[in-house]
Amino acid sequence: MNNEKSMLGVWFEHGLISKEAQQAALTQIHQDKTRFPSSLQWRSLFDLMLIWLAGLLIGSGIIFFVAANWQDMSQFVRFALVETCLLLTLSVYLVMRKRALNRGDLLGFGYTTANALLLLICLIIGSLFALVGQTYQTYQTGADPWQLFAVWGLFVLPLALVAGTELLWLLFGLLVNAALLLYFDAFPGAGGLVWGANSAMAWLFVLNLALHLSCLFLSGEITNSPVAQFTHKQRFFAPLLRQLTILAALSIVTILSIEAIFDWKNSIWLMIYFALITAGYFLYNRYLQDIFVLAIGSFSLVAVANSLLIRATLEGDEPVGMFLVLGVSIIGSTTAVTLWLKQRHKAFSQGGLSDIS
């Protein structure tokens, strides 16, 4: 239904349909949403799912085929095979995209057949970089695995911008995270002057938080910024990437905050943590009304608060009584958070905020 509304909006912006026809079409879509999908709609859905699965399997098959026949193929044959597959896939994509344009799909965002070919192109590009690294590794110096993922991510970025598909954005997010992890594996002491011993986790936190906020701003979730209006919001609509990145960022800052509780030398992370929790409360409870982020943030707060109580228990003079208090605190705080989340979910479902917020 959302794709149909988006298509109608594009047609209206380009003057292909009148305002009256647009209203009639929106009314028809609203009426049709309560009906059960037809057999033709189910078949179209399964066809599209199989096409995307085929893209994943073909891309994986090319990688494993070259790896399995490495000794039987010459260097020229390996590169010729992968590059030929890349050119053929790109040619088929151009043909499919031209057909989509003829049907009126001017933007081409979402899970389309053409974008499934872009996913295949991303996988073939990755296999080509891996082939280059594996072939010339004995003749190069200073080459590290993180460079492969970083450059691969740079090539995936424009394809994700063209496709506007969440799966490609997820691939891009995975690649930049892998590149950062491999970078700190190659250079463990990098960034130590800024973040100290936790520089790798700190930069992962910054990266995932930046990806999360970029999704919010560019998709127009937070504000109708000029950038979002210029680039079209649907291009950056990636809710799963948005949730995974905030989950990663919040998990990392929670771990660092708990470490700071038992080592006050890193107390800066406690301030960062509580600032993030406060900002997240007002953003996701008052404005975006996202129960998923509220849930992970609330249980993270339970973990940090009870960690403070654990330290007080270990340093206290009456550990038995404090352990009893700790148990009651864990049970009580978890129960209170669960009840609050249920109340929030009910309020969000009714389309507004209740008095208890």
Q: Is 63 exposed, middle or buried (0-12, 13-18, 19+ CB in 10 A)?
A: middle
- The reply to whether 98 and 156 lie within a common domain is yes
Per residue in 292-326, pLDDT (tens digit) is 999 999 999 999 999 888 888 777 677 677 778 88
Q: Give the residue-averaged pLDDT of 144-160.
A: 89
The residues, any chain, with a CB within 8 Å of residue 318's CB and separated by 6 or more, are none
Choose between 350 and 346: higher pLDDT: 346
Specify the pLDDT at position 2. 46
DSSP 44-93: HHHHHHHHHHHHHHHHHHHHHHHHHTTTTS-HHHHHHHHHHHHHHHHHHH
Whether 138 and 168 map to the same domain: the answer is yes
Q: Say if 344 falls within a structural domain.
A: no
For 317-333, the pLDDT digits (tens) are: 776 777 788 888 889 99
Same domain (yes/no): 178, 51 = yes
pLDDT category, 357, cuts 50, 70, 90? low
Instruction: Let me know if residue 243 belongs to a domain.
Output: no
Task: Indicate the pTM of the whole model.
Answer: 0.80
Mean pLDDT of the 182-187 span: 84
Query: Is residue 326, in this structure, part of any structural domain at all?
Result: no
Q: What is the pLDDT of residue 35?
A: 56
**Are 15 and 89 contained in the same domain?**
no
Instruction: Render pLDDT for 71-80 as a digit per residue (tens, 0 to 9).
Output: 888 888 888 9
78-to-69, 84, 133, 237 alpha-carbon distances in Å: 9, 10, 13, 37
Residues 79 and 180 in one domain: yes
| Total domains, the chain | 2
Name 61's Cβ contacts closer than 8 Å, sequence gap at least 6: none
**Residue-wise over 117-156: b if at least 16 C-beta within 10 A, else e?**
bbbbbbbbbbbbbbbbbeeeeeeeeeeebbbbbbbbbebb
In a domain, 101, yes or no: yes
Q: Is residue 177 domain-shared with residue 50, that is, in the same domain?
A: yes
Domain identity same for 173 and 131: yes
Across 174-188, average pLDDT = 88
Residues 58 and 28 in one domain: no
Q: Identify which of 196, 300, 309 has the alpha carbon closest to the alpha carbon of residue 254.
A: 300
pLDDT at 111 (0 to 100): 83
The answer on 163 and 136 residing in a single domain is yes
* Domain encompassing residue 83: 45-187
- Structure-token match 């291009």, residue found: 235
Residue 49, both tokens: 């799912």
Phi, then psi, of 232 in degrees rounded to 5: 75, 120
Choose one of 159, 187, 215: the last residue of a domain.
187
Distance, CA of 186 to CA of 102 (rounded, Å): 49
Instruction: Report pLDDT for 354.
Output: 47
Average pLDDT of the residues in 110-133 = 88
Rounded Cα distance, 301 and 282, in Å: 15
Q: Is residue 10 part of a domain?
A: yes
On whether residue 114 sits in a domain, the answer given is yes
List alpha helices for 266-355, DSSP H. 268-281, 291-315, 319-349
Is residue 97 located within the same domain as residue 9? no
pLDDT at position 137 over 80: no
- Per-residue pLDDT tens digits for 188-240: 766 555 555 678 888 899 999 999 998 888 877 776 555 555 456 678 888 88
> Do 28 and 134 share a structural domain?
no
Least confident of 35-44, 139-148, 168-177: 139-148
Q: Which two tokens stand for residue 343?
A: 């109340």
Does one domain contain both 49 and 2? no
> Tokens representing 165?
């598909």
- The answer as to whether 167 is a domain residue is yes
* Residue 268 pLDDT class (50, 70, 90 cuts): confident
107 in a structural domain: yes
Is the pLDDT at 66 greater than 90? The verdict is no
